[in-house]
Structure formats: structure tokens, C-alpha cells
Structure 1
């Protein structure tokens, strides 16, 4: 595989789909919404270490097999392209990614956690006749119960991503992280993309922020959240009032550790 590989990770509802939609405007880049590559690598890795055939694998063979997942999945991407593989679990697999692709970076999209919760509730309110896979298609739970599910650090849509991001932030692979705050991306997209290109060592590219196109209706229907990954044509900030109870909104305002300079002990780059 003659591609350069980077990852897009971070928190849900924090701009990763929008970022991918913008990056794919560059003909040298390949980017999309969440891919299964990280999950496939995780399953294969487990089989090569803990399975009955683990004795037949050393680290070199494991690495070759895991790179093979990337090579196979992106086989139709033109040689020389920059591949951005999107999955929120890459922050929890930063060491593995670094072993496979030493020059790789992990672009971490982040957003105020309270507004992420609000965004998910907003999607549920827009689709009242749907039941979401995020909540195991269960009806009738209160917003308080849904937030507890979302913020579970072992399995929650937000909590797990938040935990692995925080681990990577303070870990030995922190130098790989490039953090992209949602507010920066939607308020100043040109400046944010320019800084991202600089951080990646890529030549500048003139993006069209007035005609951004991306949608995954079949995938969103499967999740029970129509429109979840649909990107609006124009990149802009749209202000609205939260749909959350004020106590929930206030509870998670302190979860945004990337906004606190004293906690950036590894000098993670924020653009």
C-alpha cells in the first residue's frame, strides 16, 4: 500500500463527518464517515494473540496482517493518496496505529460535551417515531437515563470516546494527536483547515466552504437516526437553545479537559 495513513477520531457529534466531507474535496485525499477498519484490526489482533493459533504469530507477522486490513479495505484508492480512516476507537488504539504507520496522526474532533448530548437529543426529537440503535432500540427511557447510557465509560457512545481520548491525551502517543474543536471548524473553517494542512505537512488546498456535500441515509436509517450524518452545504455556526434540562447541561460543562491549558501536559496541538 503506497498510501499515507492518518486517522480521524475524537468525540461523536463533534464535526468528524463535516471534516471528512471537506477533506475529500481534495483529490489527493480519501476520507469518509466511520469505517470498520479499526474494528477489523481489533478482532484480528485478538485472534493473533489470544486465539488457538497465537503461537504462529510474532510481532512482525501481526503488524503485516494488520497492515493487510488497511491495504485490502483501501485497495481501490489510487496510489499516493492520503487516507483518513475514521473511527472513534483510534484514540484507544494509538500505539497500534503508531506501530503500523509511524508517521500517522490522529485528528481528534472535540466539542463541548453538553452540546454533544444536546445534539443527540435533538436528533431523537426530530425523529420521534424511530427507535435508536444507540439505546438498543428501547422506547420510553427518560433523558436522564439516556444520558447515563451515553456517558458510560465502558460502552457509552460519548463516555467511551471521551475516556479513550483522555487516555491518549495524557499517554505516550499524545504527540500524534491533532485536536480540532468543533467551534473552530464551523466558525473559521478556512483558518482551521489551513492549520490542519500545516500540522500534517501537506500543501495548501482551496476548499469550497459553500458547497459541502455528504450524506449516508442507509447507514443512518440502520441506526434509527435519519439525517445523523447529513452535512449542510454551507459551513457555518448556527445558534440555538439547548433542549436539555439545565441540570444535565450544567453537569458536563467541566468535562472539556482540552480547554484547560494546565491539563495539556504533553503539549497536544490544538488548531
Structure 2
């Protein structure tokens, strides 16, 4: 017999968001080693929530029959039902859009936390450019810009307000400076996650209120080949089996690399937000 949501054990939801190419897949691969946790790459739940939210808004003539209590139950139920077959007591859902929805998440799941993965924007652009060049024969469908053209046009498309990086960056600032950030939002930098994984995970577990777990940081696995093939971007979510910092030279022209050098606001003491943890 199928277990209904009303009789299912209490499950705690957390959300992974932040900037692209900043370690969210790596973090999910680490967290899913814990038998208490379910975590994965960016999925469809945030998009489903957004669509349902819009359908219950004033754009629909029948919205007069829907009150906020019903909206809350249906949106919460959508997320809970999506993970109804999951057995673990803690679920991490990943999507860059969650940073733009902190007030909604605070309403639906008051005890939830949002982990925002961040990284120097110049290295994010560099990482995306590497993906584009590695798949020169199969233009990716995940970018809101033409993969043809030049590195300059690709960068402008990525950094625009509707671009892969630009939207996520604006959403991150929206969350960081918003009223719900204190005690709910934590920023995990890619640089610290790869260079000091044990220390970063220890702080993250403390923030989540979870008992520390001994992760095997030398034997990580994560299989996203089917999605990457569907997106015409083989290797997009590949992770190395061991957590290590990677030293390399940028493939971006110098002026492009310098263009984003001052955008890591989370490292600027004068721009840091009190009450928000930055790892």
C-alpha cells in the first residue's frame, strides 16, 4: 500500500542554489554519501513550483477561489510528493532559482536552509567557456545565447540579466541582502570546498544542525551522463573522484578575466551581510 503524505514520517527539506559551475554537483556528490541525505544535481522542482505559483496567481480567472492557505498546501505538497518515494529523512533539492525564492521557502518550510555555492565569476565564465570549446561539434542547449560567435559574445550572453550566470548572480544578491537570509542562508565557496573540504563540511553540518559524518573525499561518484547527453554537453556534470583544488591558467582574454574581478561581494568585508554565514 502506498504511504500517503499525511502518514509519512517527517522529512526535512534543504535547498542548494547559488552560481553555476561553483560546486553544487560536487557538494551533492559529497552529501549523498551520508545515508541520512538525498542530494542531486539541479532538477525540475523549482520550475514546477514557479509554474504552479503563476497558475494560481491573478493571471488565472479562477484564482478568486484559491486562498493563501490553499496555495501553501499545494506548493508544499508538490515538493513533498515529488520526493514521496525517497526514504531518507533529509532531502536537498538543487536549483539556481531557489535563491530568488527565499521568502517562499521560508513560508513553505520554515526550518529549511539554503546553501548557495559561490565562486569567483571570472573562473565561472572560464569554466563555461571550456565546456563550450570541448563540445565544439555539439552546441549545448543549456545556454541562453548562441554558442557560436566569439568568447566576447558568449560572455556577454552569460553575464546578461537572463543569462546563465547573470540571473544566478542577481538571484544570489536578492537572497543575500533579503530579510530571510539571516539564519537561513549559507554561502559555500568553491575555493574553500575544494581546498579545505573537511573544515567546510564541518561548518556546514553545524549550520544544518546535523551530526557530523565521515565522508570519503577520495572516492566520489556522480552519474549525470544521460542529462549531459540530452543537453548536448557531455561532461557538464563530471566530477573528479577526489576533492582537490585545481590550479590552471585561464583561457579567457585578459580584459574579460579582469571584467568580473571585483564582483565577489561575499569576500568584501564592507559588503558582507551580518547574520549570513560565508564559508
Which band: TM-score by shorter chain? Answer: over 0.9
User: What is the alpha-carbon distance in structure 1 between the residues aligned to residue 86 and residue 193 of structure 2?
Assistant: 26
Q: 1:36 Cα shift?
A: 0.8
User: What is the alpha-carbon distance in structure 1 between the residues aligned to residue 54 and residue 67 of structure 2?
Assistant: 13
**Equivalent in the alignment of 1:268:** 276
Residue pair 2:121, 2:260 contacting (<8 A) in 1 also: yes
Bigger drift between 80-89 and 130-139 goes to 130-139
Q: 1:130 Cα shift?
A: 1.3
SS of aligned partner of 1:66: helix
Residue pair 1:3, 1:81 contacting (<8 A) in 2 also: yes
**Equivalent in the alignment of 1:168:** 175
**Equivalent in the alignment of 2:209:** 201
Q: 1:136 Cα shift?
A: 5.4
**Equivalent in the alignment of 1:134:** 142
Residue pair 2:49, 2:75 contacting (<8 A) in 1 also: yes
Matching of residue 125 in structure 1 with residue 130 in structure 2? no
User: What is the alpha-carbon distance in structure 2 between the residues aligned to residue 260 and residue 95 of structure 1?
Assistant: 25
Residue pair 1:170, 1:266 contacting (<8 A) in 2 also: no
- Out of 72, 76, 84, which is 1:63 matched to? 72
> How do 1:1-271 and structure 2 match up within 5 A?
1=5, 2-50=10-58, 51-78=60-87, 81-135=89-143, 138-153=146-161, 155-175=162-182, 176-271=184-279
User: What is the alpha-carbon distance in structure 1 between the residues aligned to residue 141 and residue 200 of structure 2?
Assistant: 33
Q: 1:81 Cα shift?
A: 1.2
State the Cα RMSD in Å: 1.2
SS of aligned partner of 1:102: coil
What runs of 5+ residues in structure 2 fail to find an aligned partner? none
Hey, which bits of structure 1, 4+ residues long, moved more than 6 A? Answer: none
**Number of equivalenced pairs:** 269
User: Counting helix residues as a fraction of each chain, which structure ranks higher?
Assistant: 1
Encode CA deviations 1:205-264: one digit per residue, 9 max, x unaligned.
Answer: 000000000021111122221101011101101111000000000000111110112111
User: What is the alpha-carbon distance in structure 2 between the residues aligned to residue 212 and residue 139 of structure 1?
Assistant: 31
